[in-house]
Amino acid sequence: MSERIWEILKNAFFRILIPGIKVTIPLAVLSFAFAFIIALAVALVQFANVKGLKQLSRFYVWIIRGTPVLVQLYIVFFGLPKIGITLTAFPAAVIVFSINEGAYMSESLRASLESVPHGQIEAGYCVGMSYLQIMRRIVLPQALRIAFPSLGNALISLVKETSMAATITVVEMFRAAQQVNSIYIEPLWLYTEAAFMYLMFCTVLTWLQRWGEKKLNAYGGVK
């Protein structure tokens, strides 16, 4: 690489990294938190076989998993204003990523709930526990431990998916790289630098995921 390229990369580093810290990470964390709430509610409705709500949950999962997240972003940010609902870019991205990731995570949580032996639920009833007590003390702790690796993968995937928010003008890490590239016109090196930063963020999350799994294993969690 020439001295000019090194100088561009050095000047661009913090101009790309800072939006990553200030926007990309908060966008991913907020979206993941809301997605988890949605996913848990949807998974519990299906696990409890609540008539009507179960079918509605399945319909939600079917629609969201069957359409691209980019299309969903465009519908919410560019489409909803046509019916009088206008959202700024960041909240629109949080809503879309939360709803999208919630559909995928709900299937992981549902499978984890169903993996808990039914005999444990019957044993809970035998000792006089209510359904809510059984869910809170027996089923959910085990299910969440089982789902932990897939939930960690979902968060890592979500960090990368936030790059699509650039298409609705959210100035996150990839959008910042685009802006810098519009000045220097060095797409190969600048987008490679942005890719490296995403890799670093995801590597840290991977280490945290493995650390969490080891802690759960130590307490008799995921095997």
Query: Could you tell me the two tokens for 46?
Result: 């299906």
| Residue 2 clears pLDDT 90, i.e. is over it | no
Mean pLDDT of the chain: 92
CA distance 165 to 199: 18
Amino acid at 206: T
Side-chain-facing half-sphere of 126: CA atoms under 13 Å: 6
Query: For position 222, what pLDDT does the model report?
Result: 41
Residue 161's closest CA among 109, 131, 201? 201
119-129 pLDDT, tens per residue?
888 898 898 88
CA distance 39 to 32: 10
Domain ranges within the chain, ordered by starting residue: 3-218
Query: What is the topology classification, in CATH, of domain 3-218?
Result: MetI-like fold (1.10.3720)
Query: Could you tell me the two tokens for 74?
Result: 């465009």
Return the higher-pLDDT residue of 223 and 141: 141
> What average pLDDT does the segment 91-117 reach?
95
Query: For position 21, what pLDDT does the model report?
Result: 95
> What average pLDDT does the segment 4-19 reach?
94
> What average pLDDT does the segment 158-184 reach?
95
Query: For position 179, what pLDDT does the model report?
Result: 95
Query: For position 132, what pLDDT does the model report?
Result: 87
Position of tokens 């650390």?
Answer: 211
> What average pLDDT does the segment 111-135 reach?
89
> What average pLDDT does the segment 8-17 reach?
94
41-90 pLDDT, tens per residue?
999 999 988 888 999 999 999 999 999 999 999 999 999 999 999 999 99
pLDDT band at 223 (very low <50, low <70, confident <90, very high): very low
| Residue 103 clears pLDDT 70, i.e. is over it | yes
CA distance 105 to 70: 18
